């Protein structure tokens, strides 16, 4: 019934291994063996003990023979097929082969019911749910080849990389339904303001069969690898945190904090969740992923913000993202241009008039940051244009200054920082910037990595639940979902006595 040595899977052998473990510990202590050697030896024996215990658990169930005939919920009768059918089961304790009694109309036809599978709620894959979970948790942070090596070193279980990738994609299929059903924080725990944000991050892709071959020599402008853009969204709530322009300027320039001051008074985000969608279009167009991500953000706000608390959207200046916000998160949303996308342009402007690294450049930026945070964006733009004229900028420098001024003028409606600071709203999208770096780059952009679209999206889905703090709940959800799909009639066994094998 279980493919391993005849002496395994029984209580006496289990007891013998336990006695051997105890004897080894006593002997090791008497001999004064090094702790690290004893630790490894104990772990090897614990794995053997665990394998023996699990083998006994499976053996006690027998083949699942519950009689010549089985009555199904629809009233039809299924006969026990004359031969047992085997299936593999790869667990954290190694591989097992189960012989199962099956019920149907006749051999060679579709099997109608397998009592043992239903009783044990076995997964569709040969891999146990626990092994799948450990593989996926490691795979969310490390390359699959590293996962196979780690599991082999710890458990002694061999796993092909392609099996891990396939299991990963299958697990990812449950993410969407979990997101829709995931419990939300209690209203009393939510912050005073809801914040949404989105940004794009490139993912290096494998060359497809129809793509041109890689160039032997890259010319100017050629990229080392082809990337496809993922749109990443984030949502959370947070309490208001009023600040002054002076305080924010000091933080941006990393001024020493006054004695006794700390960052401990900054409120912490509540229920922070991120998720990303890779572009599915053959040309990499961003319309679909933008709509998918902002549609998800709108759904989260609908579930978490029924009382209509203020909603703030903090992003950079990509107009396609703001258009996506308008399509899916309409209404009274406070639009905020991330201040950290303003300061680089002010530094760029400063270097048109001052050498890099000089006190004059720093003073130039600091003075204009303070004015912008004080609500005087139009005055700063007018001053920059006037200074360019006075200094006689021409050519590329004049063009650069025009681009900077155009960016600031075009986003002036999202730069009412004096109002935002008084209201205690966030003005920087550190959450989404961190998400793009940690969520996408740290796993999908490692050296030498290339992805298929399906593989990259599966990783984005799985990794979102891993870093969102919902891992255990997600695993329970997807196991329950698969169990309901695979064993809709398992209640048939409730009226059947299942004697354990002696």
Per-residue DSSP letters for 357-380? T-HHHHHHHHHHHHHHHTT-HHHH
Q: Distance between CA atoms of 470 and 272, rounded to whole angstroms?
A: 11
Q: What is the pLDDT of residue 3?
A: 43
Q: Distance between CA atoms of 289 and 102, rounded to whole angstroms?
A: 45
Q: Is residue 479 part of a domain?
A: no
Q: What is the pLDDT of residue 282?
A: 84
Q: What is the pLDDT of residue 495?
A: 82
- The tens digit of pLDDT for each residue in 360-403 reads 999 999 999 999 999 999 999 999 999 999 999 999 999 999 99
Q: Is residue 165 part of a domain?
A: no
- The tens digit of pLDDT for each residue in 261-282 reads 666 578 999 999 999 999 988 8
Q: Is residue 46 part of a domain?
A: yes
What 3-state class would DSSP assign to 102? coil
Pick from 159, 117, 121, 168: nearest CA to 141? 168
The length of the chain, given as a count of residues? 502
Q: In this structure, are strands 85-91 and 94-100 parallel, antiparallel, or unpaired?
A: antiparallel
Q: What is the pLDDT of residue 185?
A: 94
Q: Are residues 244 and 287 in the same domain?
A: yes
Q: Compute how many other C-beta atoms are within 10 angstroms of the C-beta atom of residue 471.
A: 16
- Cα-based distances in Å from 116 to 67, 70, 85, 132, 480: 13, 13, 11, 21, 17
Domain containing residue 392: 343-414
Q: Are residues 273 and 368 in the same domain?
A: no
Q: Is residue 488 part of a domain?
A: no
Give me the residues paired with residue 77 across strands: 71
Q: Is residue 445 part of a domain?
A: yes
Q: In this structure, are strands 311-315 and 333-337 parallel, antiparallel, or unpaired?
A: parallel
Place of tokens 């009382």: 307
Q: Are residues 298 and 409 in the same domain?
A: no
Q: Are residues 255 and 400 in the same domain?
A: no
Pick from 453, 440, 446: nearest CA to 284? 453
Q: Are residues 47 and 98 in the same domain?
A: yes
Per-residue pLDDT in tens (0 to 9) along the chain, 502 residues: 344 433 456 778 889 999 999 999 999 999 999 999 999 999 999 999 999 999 999 999 999 999 999 988 888 889 999 999 999 999 999 999 999 999 997 766 789 999 999 999 999 999 999 999 999 999 999 999 999 999 999 999 999 999 999 999 999 999 999 999 999 999 999 999 999 999 999 999 987 655 545 444 444 444 555 899 999 999 999 999 999 999 999 999 999 977 666 665 789 999 999 999 999 888 889 999 999 999 999 999 999 999 999 999 999 989 999 999 999 998 899 999 999 999 999 999 999 999 999 999 999 999 999 999 999 999 999 999 999 999 999 999 999 999 999 999 999 999 999 999 999 999 998 888 888 889 999 999 988 889 999 999 999 999 999 999 999 999 999 999 999 999 999 999 988 889 898 7
What 3-state class would DSSP assign to 450? coil
Please, are residues 421 and 245 in contact by the beta-carbon 8 Å criterion?
yes
Structure tokens at 130: 């626990």
At residue 95, what are phi and psi to the nearest 5 degrees? -95, 140
Pick from 100, 108, 104: nearest CA to 72? 104
Cα 467-471-472 angle, rounded to 5 deg:
155
Q: Is residue 176 part of a domain?
A: no
Q: Are residues 445 and 300 in the same domain?
A: yes
Q: Is residue 21 part of a domain?
A: yes
What's the CATH number where 321 sits? 3.30.420
Q: Distance between CA atoms of 277 and 378, rounded to whole angstroms?
A: 36
Q: Distance between CA atoms of 406 and 495, rounded to whole angstroms?
A: 75
Q: Are residues 332 and 348 in the same domain?
A: no
Q: Distance between CA atoms of 352 and 401, rounded to whole angstroms?
A: 8
Q: What is the pLDDT of residue 298?
A: 96
Q: What is the pLDDT of residue 81?
A: 93
Please, are residues 336 and 425 in contact by the beta-carbon 8 Å criterion?
yes
Place of tokens 């309901």: 484
Q: Distance between CA atoms of 176 and 481, rounded to whole angstroms?
A: 12
Please, are residues 88 and 96 in contact by the beta-carbon 8 Å criterion?
yes
Q: Are residues 396 and 294 in the same domain?
A: no
Please, are residues 210 and 445 in contact by the beta-carbon 8 Å criterion?
no
Q: Distance between CA atoms of 243 and 252, rounded to whole angstroms?
A: 13
Q: Distance between CA atoms of 119 and 132, rounded to whole angstroms?
A: 20
Please, are residues 95 and 117 in contact by the beta-carbon 8 Å criterion?
no
Q: Is residue 120 part of a domain?
A: yes
Q: Are residues 104 and 230 in the same domain?
A: no
Q: Are residues 60 and 23 in the same domain?
A: yes
Pick from 281, 181, 270: nearest CA to 231? 281
Q: Distance between CA atoms of 129 and 170, rounded to whole angstroms?
A: 12
- The residues near 113 (Cβ < 8 Å, ≥ 6 apart) are 70, 72, 78, 102, 103, 104, 489, 492
Q: What is the pLDDT of residue 6?
A: 33
Q: Are residues 249 and 387 in the same domain?
A: no
Maximum Cα–Cα distance for the chain, whole Å?
99
Q: Are residues 40 and 93 in the same domain?
A: yes
Q: What is the pLDDT of residue 281?
A: 87
Number of domains composing the chain: 3
Last residue of a domain, one of 102, 128, 154: 128
Average pLDDT, the chain: 91
- The residues near 156 (Cβ < 8 Å, ≥ 6 apart) are 47, 94
Q: Distance between CA atoms of 62 and 77, rounded to whole angstroms?
A: 22
Q: What is the DSSP letter of 437?
A: I
Cα 273-274-275 angle, rounded to 5 deg:
130
Last residue of a domain, one of 86, 102, 128: 128
């Amino acid at each position: 019934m279980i493919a391993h040595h005849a002496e395994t899977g029984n209580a006496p052998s289990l007891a013998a291994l336990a006695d051997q473990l105890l004897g080894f510990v006593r002997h090791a202590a008497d001999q004064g063996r090094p702790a690290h050697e004893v630790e490894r030896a104990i772990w090897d024996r614990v794995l053997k003990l665990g394998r023996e215990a699990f083998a006994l658990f499976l053996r006690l169930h027998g083949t699942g023979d519950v009689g010549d005939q089985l009555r199904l919920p629809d009233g039809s009768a299924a006969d026990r097929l004359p031969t047992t059918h085997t299936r593999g089961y790869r667990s954290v304790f190694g591989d097992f082969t189960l012989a199962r009694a099956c019920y149907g109309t006749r051999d060679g036809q579709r099997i109608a019911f397998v009592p043992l599978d239903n009783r044990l709620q076995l997964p569709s894959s040969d891999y146990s749910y626990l092994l799948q979970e450990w593989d996926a948790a490691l795979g969310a942070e490390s390359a699959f080849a590293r996962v196979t090596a780690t599991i082999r070193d710890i458990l002694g279980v061999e796993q092909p990389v392609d099996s891990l990738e396939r299991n990963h994609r299958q697990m990812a299929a449950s993410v969407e339904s979990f997101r829709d059903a995931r419990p939300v924080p209690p209203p009393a725990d939510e912050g005073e303001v809801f914040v949404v944000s989105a940004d794009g991050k490139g993912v290096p892709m494998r060359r497809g069969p129809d793509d041109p071959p890689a160039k032997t020599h890259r010319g100017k402008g050629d990229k080392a690898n082809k990337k496809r853009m993922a749109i990443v969204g984030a949502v959370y709530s947070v309490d208001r945190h009023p600040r002054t322009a002076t305080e924010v300027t000091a933080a941006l320039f990393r001024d020493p904090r006054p004695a006794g001051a700390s960052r401990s008074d900054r409120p912490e985000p509540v229920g922070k969740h991120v998720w990303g969608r890779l572009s599915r279009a053959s040309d990499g167009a961003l319309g679909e992923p933008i709509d998918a991500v902002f549609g998800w953000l709108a759904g989260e706000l609908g579930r978490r913000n029924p009382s209509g608390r203020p909603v703030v959207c903090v992003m950079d200046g990509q107009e396609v993202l703001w258009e996506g916000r308008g399509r899916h998160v309409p209404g009274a949303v406070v639009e905020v241009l991330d201040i950290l996308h303003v300061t680089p342009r002010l530094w760029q402007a400063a270097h048109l008039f001052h050498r890099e690294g000089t006190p004059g450049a720093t003073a130039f930026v600091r003075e204009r940051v303070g004015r912008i945070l004080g609500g005087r964006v139009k005055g700063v733009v007018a001053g920059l244009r006037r200074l360019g004229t006075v200094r006689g900028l021409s050519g590329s420098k004049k063009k650069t200054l025009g681009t900077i001024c155009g960016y600031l003028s075009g986003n002036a409606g999202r730069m009412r920082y004096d109002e935002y600071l008084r209201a205690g709203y966030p003005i920087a999208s550190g959450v989404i910037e961190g998400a793009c770096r940690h969520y996408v780059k740290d796993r999908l952009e490692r050296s030498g990595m290339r992805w298929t679209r399906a593989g990259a999206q599966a990783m984005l889905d799985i990794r979102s639940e891993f870093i969102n703090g919902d891992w255990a709940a997600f695993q329970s959800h997807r196991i329950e979902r698969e169990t309901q799909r695979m064993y809709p009639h398992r209640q048939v066994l409730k009226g059947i006595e299942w004697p354990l094998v002696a």
